[in-house]
Amino acid sequence: MHTDVVSAAILLILVLDPFGNIPLVVAALAGVPPRRHARIVLRECAFAYAILLGFMVGGRTFMQWLQLSDVALSIAGGIILFLIALRMVFPRPEGIFGKMVGGEPFLVPLAVPAIAGPSALATVMLMSSKDPADLPKWVLAVTIAMALTTVVLLASSRLQAALGERAVAAFGRLMGLVLTALAVQMLLNGVREFVHTLAR
């Protein structure tokens, strides 16, 4: 498999944060009959996958329509990613994405913003806008990342029971730490490109 695909898939897995989303999935499905859990997770992951692909394919057109540059997207994506990563490292009682409304989740909060959140959307748009010719590679990377995310979230209840809440929380913080470094690098890349445009 191409190195770029593997690197992109790893980045997306960190951004999607399937292990960090385990407590959110468990909480969201707490009032839902267990027989429906797998169906709901599959549905929400399918929604998130479709949204990510939509932003990847139509990202360039969307950016041109709003007159946004790659530099602006890189800086904005880095800031959003950094803020979410901080909340992963220093979690709050209401969770990464705030308080949830009761009932069966539908699109919100699992598909959006838990899986296909602002950082994930910014990441896929940045991928496709920088190398439009390599779109099949980025689609493959998104598919790999979403497949792994789906497997982890399907086993969320069992994983939390087996590993314990502390282990899941610790792993989520570790992923948040790595994501913080990636966010800073994305932000620095955007600032560097902006400085270069001023120097021209």
Q: Of 41-45, 61-65, 167-171, which gets the smallest average pLDDT?
A: 167-171
Predicted confidence band of residue 92 (pLDDT cuts 50, 70, 90): low
**AA letter at 75:** I
Percent of the chain beyond pLDDT 90? 20
Q: Is the bond preceding residue 93 a cis peptide, omega within 30 degrees? A: no
How far, in Å, are 25, 36, 45, 50, 73 from residue 122 at the CA level?
23, 31, 18, 15, 7
Please, which residues have CB within 8 angstroms of residue 10's CB and are 6 or more apart in sequence?
Answer: none
Rounded average pLDDT over 127-149: 88
Number of helical H runs and strand E runs in the chain: 8, 0
Q: Are 125 and 12 in contact (CB under 8 A)?
A: no
Please, which residues have CB within 8 angstroms of residue 123's CB and are 6 or more apart in sequence?
Answer: 11, 12, 15, 77, 81
Rounded average pLDDT over 48-63: 87
The residues facing 106 across adjacent strands are 108
Compute the distance between CA of residue 72 and CA of residue 152 in angstroms, rounded to an integer: 33
Compute the distance between CA of residue 165 and CA of residue 96 in angstroms, rounded to an integer: 15
Please, which residues have CB within 8 angstroms of residue 24's CB and are 6 or more apart in sequence?
Answer: 95, 96, 97, 100, 109, 110, 114
The string of pLDDT tens digits covering residues 158-187 is 887 787 777 767 776 777 777 788 778 878
pLDDT at site 93: 58
Look at the chain and report how many structural domains it folds into: 1
Q: Give the DSSP letter of residue 21.
A: T
The range of the structural domain enclosing residue 149 comes to 3-199
Nearest Cα to Cα of residue 97 among 185, 167, 14, 25: 25
DSSP character string of 130-176: H-GGGHHHHHHHHHHHHHHHHHHHHTHHHHHHHH-HHHHHHHHHHHH
